[in-house]
Structure 1
Amino acid sequence: MHIPSPDEVRAIAAISDPTIRNLRITQCYCELSAAFIGRTGPVANWCTFATWASKQAGQSIRREDLLRSVEARLNLAQLEELKVLWRVADELGINTGLEQKLHGIIRNTWLAGIINGISEAVGRGNRKVFEEIGWEFARFFSSGFGDEAFDQQRLDAFCATLRPGNPPDGQQYLKQAFAHYHEAFFEQDAQLQTELQLLANLEIGFHEQTRLQPEIAASLNAAFTADKEIVRKKITDAFFPPDSWLARARLAYLKITGRKSRLDAAIDQLMNRLQGIVREQLTAHLMTLTIPPDLRLSLGRDLNKPYPAALLHLSYPGLTALLSQIDPTPDNLAQSGAVDWADLPDRMHFIAELFRCYHLDLALYHDAFTPQQVVFMKEGKLPSGRL
């Protein structure tokens, strides 16, 4: 079994191509997960879930189907705001067959910019988490924690390098998590062992999600942070070419009246409507997680998978204390769906339930890629087939 080293993690994080880097990150998580499972048996660790989250992130990084799905949802020809714009232009006598040009501006300038922004934000987050937490997992194994004997001195030395304090800057939750993983390795009580493992997963999950908050917010708010004014100017210039008498008349009107023309108002209404539709579609795309065998989970819907028997009733104080902070519906999947994935408490509620429900699900331990795909990506090549 290949166990990635800290040096390998650093080398992967340094890959400049975001697509290849994401594939290598996903595979590295898969290998670290397998190494942990080799020590614990079939129990999910944080890297198990990170494997599938990273693989899902790869779709956004590679921009797969996102532009197509957003365009399909927009259906520009049917937008009432666009019809209003054409009516106002007709009344002003300036609609000169601009439909194709306008559609091109929306697709090629605005939407393309949004999709690129999402790809970059997701790629940054993917690397940011991996180069910190992936490295700590690799360091954990390289420090000898796969050994059979409990070694408090070695554990203390490992934890001493982690920064005190809460995230995003402190690493106290990581320190606690690896201590709980190590304790679980040697715990004889099966129930306590399971609860320690879940606690460690949740502690890393909380640290990770707190650190990722800027990148997640940037991804989901891409439709609002994209430079709308550039697109608006391009649309305005299409109706009022800058060197034309129409442009001069428009500027004179604005200067005299101090208010927007009817056409300007119609353009603003169109842009606001487009933003709302795109935000909704992007949220639906980003709030999806596919896990083996081929289950697509909508992160906005309540989970319906029951807790495993071993996690129906929890008693370990550290675990119950953390859940009291991040799970507003104790021992209940009600309201587990995240209304707003950019909201950290909302997101952590779903993740807490996800980790608990799938803690012993054997389907999660599948390989992320085929052996041939792994060979290609480790050679720095983009593999063929479904990724």
Structure 2
Amino acid sequence: MTHSLEEHGTEREGPLSLQEIDEIIGTENPPLRNLRITYAYHQLAVALARLLDDRNATWCGFGTWASRTAGLFIRGELKPRPVGLPPVPPWVSRHLMTWAAPHVGSNVARGNLLVFQELGPLFHTMVTAYTEEDDAERALERVLQPLRPGLVTEGGQDLLIAAARSYHRAMPLPHSAARSQVILLANLQVALHEQIRLQEAIAASLAPPLRAPFTPAPLNVLATRFWGRLATSHLMDVYMPAVDFTTTRTLIPLRLGRDVGGAHGATTFCEHLTDLIDLELKALLYDFDRSPNSVLGSAAADWSLLAERMNYLTDFFRLWQQDPCLMQAPFTPRQAEDLRAGKMPSGPPL
């Protein structure tokens, strides 16, 4: 990244404690809990940038803005777009999505908490271990010790173990294409773990809220697929920070049903992430990226499907990883102070 952390108002960020993480997880008010999760991800992103690389965002940099977007669902602030999906006209689909929005919001809140319960402590351990230990291998052992081997679908954390090893592998490398690509690999390993673990919550949030009894199974399948496509086209956005977000609070809506775009309208990857040399990264992209080395074809047709999400996310992470916009603080200093005190903040829109 070409901008320093201080330029984005992050020089005042204090360290996140395990006590704060426990308090956040125990917060019963879903909107407040989401805001505290969002700010915690930003604190972790800043700490990891100082530890690892301030030119390549880690997963927490992306998690900050994904969680901030989740807050719009949780607080009921997102309004469905008047987009039609044949054979349903725009006005009908918009009313359907308005009716379904609370159902989506409750599932988003559950997913937001599930991810933070697992990743908040992991990234906190990573920051503290590598800060406190003189021996990097001993720090890695501390990070890996609480993680459970096994497949994600069976309660295991093999992908998080792989991600921790990838971040570790990136640390001693000079700032180069090699380092940037290993960080991208780690980010995508975390993203894949998260998306697999959240499959049930995501599918539930994008499923038809009501189903008619005694409906034949094939019709239920068709209805679910149609509803998923409808929800993806109407509701599924991620709001990313504009270049001047810190001063203007401007957000860029990226529609997940369209090809990925960058903060400056970019559609090409940065130099370090264009010609890939890391074999593990290339193997992961081979499995999930339908449009190698291009954002064309990255749009998700149905966000409830893991393959659709990962096809989008591979290009999303690759396009945004070196954009300094990600490191901007999501809240004003006063809002951050309120959140750390466990209070709902006021001021500019959240």
Question: Aligning the two structures, in what range does the TM-score lie when normalised by the shorter sequence?
Answer: 0.7 to 0.9
Partner of 2:209: 225
Q: Is the 8 A contact 1:30 1:368 kept in 2?
A: yes
Partner of 1:167: 152
Partner of 2:171: 185
Q: Please tell me whether residue 53 in structure 1 is matched to residue 37 in structure 2.
A: no
Question: Of residues 286, 291, 298 in structure 1, which corresponds to 2:255?
Answer: 298
Partner of 2:324: 362
Q: Distance in 2 between matches of 1:286 and 1:170?
A: 31
Could you say if the C-alpha distance between residues 275 and 344 of structure 1 is closer, same or farther in structure 2, counting changes exceeding 3 Å?
Answer: closer
The C-alpha deviation readout for 1:34-91, integer Å capped at 9, x for no partner, is 111122122110000000000000010001144xx47x789xxxx9xx9xxxxxxxxx
Q: Distance in 1 between matches of 2:224 and 2:314?
A: 31
Matched position secondary structure for 1:146: helix
Q: If you compute each CA radius of gyration, which structure gives the higher value, 1 or 2?
A: 1
Partner of 1:335: 297
Could you say if the C-alpha distance between residues 65 and 303 of structure 1 is closer, same or farther in structure 2, counting changes exceeding 3 Å?
Answer: closer
Q: Distance in 2 between matches of 1:310 and 1:278?
A: 39
Partner of 2:232: 283
**Which residue type is aligned with residue 357 of structure 1?**
L
Partner of 1:134: 120
Q: Is the 8 A contact 2:260 2:295 kept in 1?
A: yes
Post-superposition shift, 1:3?
2.1
RMSD (Å), alpha carbons: 3.0
Q: Distance in 1 between matches of 2:172 and 2:149?
A: 26
Partner of 1:43: 56
Partner of 1:259: none
Post-superposition shift, 1:316?
1.1
Q: Distance in 1 between matches of 2:303 and 2:333?
A: 34
Partner of 2:216: none
**Which residue type is aligned with residue 254 of structure 2?**
L
Q: Distance in 2 between matches of 1:381 and 1:282?
A: 32
Partner of 1:322: 284
Residue correspondences, number: 309
**Which residue type is aligned with residue 195 of structure 1?**
Q
Q: Distance in 1 between matches of 2:176 and 2:70?
A: 34
**What pairs up with 1:206-285 in 2 under 5 angstroms?**
206-221=192-207, 224-226=208-210, 282-285=231-234
The structure in which a higher percent of residues are helix is 1
Q: Is the 8 A contact 2:103 2:209 kept in 1?
A: no
Q: Distance in 1 between matches of 2:56 and 2:165?
A: 17
Post-superposition shift, 1:147?
5.7
Matched position secondary structure for 1:186: coil
Could you say if the C-alpha distance between residues 227 and 355 of structure 1 is closer, same or farther in structure 2, counting changes exceeding 3 Å?
Answer: same
Q: Is the 8 A contact 2:83 2:233 kept in 1?
A: no
Post-superposition shift, 1:8?
1.8
Matched position secondary structure for 2:198: helix
Q: Is the 8 A contact 1:18 1:61 kept in 2?
A: yes
**What pairs up with 1:149-164 in 2 under 5 angstroms?**
149-164=134-149
Q: Is the 8 A contact 1:3 1:138 kept in 2?
A: no
List runs of 5+ in structure 2 lacking aligned partners.
Answer: 1-12, 214-222, 243-250, 262-266
Q: Is the 8 A contact 1:220 1:286 kept in 2?
A: no
**Which residue type is aligned with residue 101 of structure 2?**
I
**What pairs up with 1:56-205 in 2 under 5 angstroms?**
56-66=69-79, 69=80, 114-143=100-129, 145-146=130-131, 149-168=134-153, 169-188=155-174, 190-205=176-191
Post-superposition shift, 1:386?
0.3
Post-superposition shift, 1:375?
2.1
Q: Distance in 1 between matches of 2:227 and 2:269?
A: 35
Post-superposition shift, 1:381?
2.8
Partner of 1:33: 45
The C-alpha deviation readout for 1:330-386, integer Å capped at 9, x for no partner, is 212221111110110111010010000111001111110111112223333322230
Partner of 2:349: 386
Return 189-198 or 362-371, whichever deviates more.
Answer: 189-198
Q: Please tell me whether residue 11 in structure 1 is matched to residue 23 in structure 2.
A: yes
Q: Is the 8 A contact 1:122 1:216 kept in 2?
A: yes
Q: Distance in 1 between matches of 2:50 and 2:19?
A: 22
List runs of 5+ in structure 1 lacking aligned partners.
Answer: 83-106, 230-273
Identity within the alignment, %? 33
Q: Distance in 2 between matches of 1:180 and 1:5?
A: 24
Q: Distance in 1 between matches of 2:230 and 2:166?
A: 39
Could you say if the C-alpha distance between residues 171 and 332 of structure 1 is closer, same or farther in structure 2, counting changes exceeding 3 Å?
Answer: same
Post-superposition shift, 1:162?
0.8
Post-superposition shift, 1:283?
2.8
**Which residue type is aligned with residue 23 of structure 1?**
L
Return 134-143 or 376-385, whichever deviates more.
Answer: 376-385
Could you say if the C-alpha distance between residues 18 and 48 of structure 1 is closer, same or farther in structure 2, counting changes exceeding 3 Å?
Answer: same
Q: Distance in 2 between matches of 1:154 and 1:277?
A: 48
**Which residue type is aligned with residue 210 of structure 2?**
A
